[in-house]
Amino acid sequence: MSKKLQVVHTAELAVTFDPNICMHSGVCIRGLPAVFDGSRADWIHPGAAPAEAVQALVARCPSGALQSVRAGHPPAKLAAGSAATVVFTSDGPALIRGTLDLELPTGTKLRRDGPVAFCRCGQTKNDPYCDGSHGRAGFRSPR
């Protein structure tokens, strides 16, 4: 079942969160706990830090679940035809950056621009995306 995209904005910045692709790395919560606080139902408060700091942290989201757009600035686009890069993390997901055309096992086709994290441990409840299960499962990368 698909979860709803969350959108939160201030006069300076819009932040979106796609829970369907979040790998629960905690980069957001550890990086700006005043902005991202998982103990609150409305867990994203972009006005709790300068817009530049929020945008810089959102750019570090490894799965691309968090995105941001500054008011008055068009969203950043990847160059057409840019090659995708794949990074196999140690004991974790494959992180892919670039433009991807995906065809899911359900037959759904979609295009992703930006980072996405694919499961390598086989334990995710959100196939093919990483949901952080590798940590609980004790997954270890082949050496």
pLDDT (tens digit per residue) in 80-117: 666 788 999 999 999 988 888 888 888 889 888 778 89
Instruction: Name the β-bridge partners of 131.
Output: none
Tokens, residue 128: 């093919």
Tell me: pLDDT of 73 over 90: no
Q: How far apart are CA 36 and CA 94, in angstroms?
A: 24
Question: What is the reported pLDDT for 79?
Answer: 59
Give yes or no for residue 15 having a pLDDT over 60.
yes
Q: What is the DSSP string of 55-122?
A: HHHHTT-SSS-EEEEETTSPPP-PPTTPPPEEEE-TTSPEEEESEEEEE-TTS-EEEEES-EEE-SSS
Predicted TM-score of the model (pTM): 0.80
Region class of 56: left (phi > 0), else alpha (psi between -120 and 50), else beta: alpha
Question: pLDDT for 22-60, tens place per residue?
Answer: 999 999 999 999 999 999 999 999 999 999 999 999 999
Given this model, what pLDDT does residue 99 score?
84
